[in-house]
Structure 1
């Protein structure tokens, strides 16, 4: 004769079955796994969420008259350094050629309005950054003379507000080119023999400060320039260190420390979630300046 199991055994089996079903529903990948494996899985998830995020910003002075092949070569060199934003200097009447020199995923932002001595465009990788806002900025008017003795035309820059697609970090970027022969390397201060150039530099520095001060607190100000001032000989408060980097609390790659031209810089606001962690200088270019790529990493 068949006998039913005692009621307490039936209840115990049902409780065990319910417990197993709950475990399978809550964590199917962990049931039956050793304790060490479960611990490792949790650790790897936490580690992945804390992986450092970085991005590269480059400054590249391209000689006037460069053809597409030369620009494409030089741009490719700084792209080797993982640059996703490039600030150009000394580009004039070159919108079509410069666009043709960039990868397909990149966007070129050229200043609108009158073409000046230096139209300082910015290019960025659309796969990395989303453009939130852009506008042209007059950096200085007809203020200084070059070697030809002619009064220079107005200089324009373009301002780009870019949001990083992965992190949401937003930068306000601008590229600019300071006048030639404004630095007295013997005294470390202004070259008052080129007073018009020095005064133009001061006005441009004021304009850069206005652009930084107008940025939202959550937006990091980033500048790329051919500053025409050697970093390790800039000894006064009347040039780049005193008029731009010091009052705006900008850190920079300070390319002069590793030789080279020592006048091309990437600058960034210090009080930000991301800081300049390192930089590379790229030589053997068609242009007569090295390409500088500064790597930004999340501050610890």
Structure 2
């Protein structure tokens, strides 16, 4: 009688593929998710976004660090999209349109208008499989503003606006991406920093223009804004900054007030009109980025 010594690996290998197939089938039957490669995960997320569930969508805001190149922007945009965002409002673009376009997936559209200096600082990008563009423009928010760090007069400040219709639900949003002046906020008093009076006054003019854009929004559309507001949310206690000039008079909810148990303190906001079929349900901050701001992904769900 002869004994044949067989390595366990030899026995396992022929069984590997059937076992994998059986496991995959079980996952499909039970509704669990197969943890594949990062590329597959991104494709799965894209497919999930493309299916455009009618009861949910997510909007993000992302401030880009000055001088970021394609690799850095792609690194930061990837987790934001992976978090479910199908609309992103950027601020401080500060680099070329081709570079930002190259950092986005091919199935996304970039709205970065050409015109006077400043029209392209706050572009909006969206997944065209999820949203249909109805209109876009670059509203002038203030013609006299500030220069970062020095407080001197800089170029005119524009936002970028887009009317987007959700392909699955038919829900339409008027999205606005903008950037407020820096050094606005006295963190001790919770009110304006009057040492930067010109910046504060520029913010007031911008807030008035934002209110006008919101008031011009048709009742059937939901106003949604994405900004680097340069005001710390949980210390904005007066009526002269973001809370008093934008969110309160327009009855907007934000990523920092949507959940009473998860209040934040940052300066990057997603704002949304409360009187809508869709309300802010949750938000998530992405902080391990190349840029010096967190990316905020805010999820909206249909009211029951």
What TM-score comes out, normalization by structure 2 length?
A: 0.79
* Larger proportion of strand: 1
> Deviation string for 1:49-77 (max 9, x for gaps)?
xx871001000000111000000010001
Distance 1:57 1:65 in 2: 24
Structure 1 residues not aligned, in runs of 5+: 1-50
Matched position secondary structure for 2:248: helix
Structure 2 residues not aligned, in runs of 5+: 1-52
Distance 1:96 1:136 in 2: 19
Aligned residues: 250
Match of 2:267 in 1: 263
> Deviation string for 1:146-177 (max 9, x for gaps)?
31353211111111000000000000000111
Match of 1:47 in 2: none
Match of 1:289 in 2: 293
Match of 2:180 in 1: 178
1:104-143 map, 5 Å: 104-116=106-118, 119-143=121-145
Q: What is the CA distance between 1:286 and its match in structure 2?
A: 0.2
Whether the 8 Å contact between 1:275 and 1:296 is mirrored in structure 2 is yes
> Deviation string for 1:57-100 (max 9, x for gaps)?
00000011100000001000111110000000001342110000
Match of 1:226 in 2: 228
Q: What is the CA distance between 1:260 and its match in structure 2?
A: 7.3
> Deviation string for 1:106-141 (max 9, x for gaps)?
000013311229711000000000001111111112
Distance 1:116 1:57 in 2: 23
Whether the 8 Å contact between 2:233 and 2:265 is mirrored in structure 1 is no
- Structure 1 stretches of at least 4 aligned residues deviating more than 3 Å after TM superposition: 255-261
The structure having more radius of gyration, on CA atoms, is: 1
Q: What is the CA distance between 1:215 and its match in structure 2?
A: 0.8
Distance 1:276 1:284 in 2: 24
Match of 2:7 in 1: none
Match of 2:21 in 1: none
Match of 1:277 in 2: 281
Match of 2:303 in 1: 299
Whether the 8 Å contact between 1:60 and 1:87 is mirrored in structure 2 is yes
Whether the 8 Å contact between 1:89 and 1:177 is mirrored in structure 2 is yes
> Deviation string for 1:247-292 (max 9, x for gaps)?
1110001189868761001000000000000000011100000000
Distance 1:233 1:248, change over 3 A: same
Match of 1:100 in 2: 102
Matched position secondary structure for 1:208: helix
Distance 1:236 1:157, change over 3 A: same
RMSD over aligned Cα atoms: 1.9
1:1-300 map, 5 Å: 53-116=55-118, 119-254=121-256, 262-300=266-304
Whether the 8 Å contact between 2:280 and 2:301 is mirrored in structure 1 is yes
Whether the 8 Å contact between 1:72 and 1:101 is mirrored in structure 2 is yes
Whether the 8 Å contact between 1:111 and 1:119 is mirrored in structure 2 is no
Match of 2:13 in 1: none
